[in-house]
Amino acid sequence: MTAILEINGLSKHFGGVQAVSDFSLSVEKGSITGLIGPNGAGKSTVIELVSGFQKPDTGAIVFAGRKIQGREPHRIGQLGLLRTFQLAREWPKLTVMENMLVAALDQRRPTIWRALATPGRLREAQEADRGRAQAILADFDLLALRNDLAGTLSGGQKRLLEFARLVIAKPAMVLLDEPLAGVNPVLGARIQESIEILASRDITVLLVEHNLRLIEALCSSVAVMALGTRIAFGNMAELRSDTKVVDAYLGTSA
């Protein structure tokens, strides 16, 4: 298969701390790839670097054939690479439906001046967005809440809205940074279903998560980080027999 994301020799220092050191990873198009490791291993820093929220000291990041290291986050997003955060983010003063419609905005649409000259075309696009938003909200069990302010949702509902916004934005790839963080464990199965919905829409996923059951259920390939660098890559069965991974992260089981 073709790689949609290539990371080569990525490094990042914060003062005297080397958060990421010579990290490399290839993510195949259409895959759900896991990224695991102990706290402080550098996983979230990799997400920050790839998504443009931090600038790398060294290394190359190629997404869909384009070098993106050092680009601003919104420019990377326009190329089709989006991310989530450990705590779900939403526009709290907007309704659930309004959150969806903002996420649906297409940068390729006509400018405001062209839209004023062809208002019918703009209205058609807006109605199409609203119809898609309703269908996607139904997939995530949020349709009944479409007129509620997003800030009033529970933590789990905010996470589901975040996934729904990803779907309507139609990215080529998403970076999920600990999607189970701050979510009631009962919703774990629903989060898994949400990630599967992303994959079913041909969205490539790089998943950072400490819940190894979720990683094993979703990911055919998993990269393991420790002390800022990649120490192993394979499926979970292979990683459990890798002494470097056991010593650094998995530990021994009774």
Task: Please list, in sequence order, all residues whose beta carbon lies within 8 angstroms of the beta carbon of residue 23, skipping any fewer than 6 positions away.
Answer: 7, 9, 10, 11, 42, 46, 59, 225, 228, 229, 230
Question: Any bridge partners for residue 60, and if so which?
Answer: 8
Question: Does some domain include residue 193?
Answer: yes
- Comparing C-alpha atoms, which of 180, 181, 182 is closest to residue 193? 180
One domain, residues 82 and 96:
no
Flag whether 241 is in a domain: yes
Kind of pairing between the strands at 221-226 and 32-36: parallel
40 plus 76 within the same structural domain: yes
pLDDT tens for residues 122-132? Answer: 567 678 889 99
Whether 27 and 96 share a structural domain: no
- Per-residue pLDDT of 87-121, as tens digits, reads 778 889 999 999 999 888 754 444 444 544 455 65
Claim to verify: residue 74 and residue 144 sit in the same structural domain: no
Task: Answer whether residue 148 is part of any domain.
Answer: yes
| 16 and 86 fall within a common domain | yes
- Same domain, residue pair 78 and 173: yes
Q: How many residues does the chain have?
A: 254
Residue 67: the pLDDT is 97
The half-sphere exposure of 194 on its side-chain side, counting CA atoms within 13 A, is 28
If asked whether residues 69 and 183 sit together in one domain, one would say: yes
Q: Is 39 domain-assigned?
A: yes
Tell me, what's the pLDDT at 37?
95
Shared domain check, 181 and 61: yes
Q: How many domains does the chain have?
A: 2
- Residue 75 lies inside a defined structural domain of this protein: yes
> Which of 104, 120, 152 delimits the end of a domain?
152
Q: Which residues of the chain have pLDDT under 70?
A: 1, 106-123, 125, 251-254
Q: 127 with 117, same domain?
A: yes
Q: Is 19 exposed, middle or buried (0-12, 13-18, 19+ CB in 10 A)?
A: buried
Do residue 85 and residue 123 come from a single domain? no
Q: Is residue 160 part of a domain?
A: no
Q: What is the per-residue pLDDT for 43?
A: 96
In sequence order, what E strands does the chain have? 3-14, 17-28, 32-36, 58-63, 66-67, 81-83, 173-177, 204-208, 221-226, 229-234
- Please tell me whether residues 144 and 201 are part of one structural domain: no
Beta-carbon neighbour count of residue 93 at 10 Å? 9
Structural domain span for residue 122: 91-152
> How far is 179 from 159, CA to CA, in rounded Å?
7
Does residue 102 fall inside a structural domain? yes
| Residues 21 and 117 reside in one and the same domain | no
- How confident is the model at residue 253, as a pLDDT? 45
71 within a domain of the structure (yes/no) = yes
Residue 25 belongs to domain with CATH number: 3.40.50.300
pLDDT of the residue at 123: 65
- Given this model, what pLDDT does residue 87 score? 75
Predicted pLDDT at 122: 52
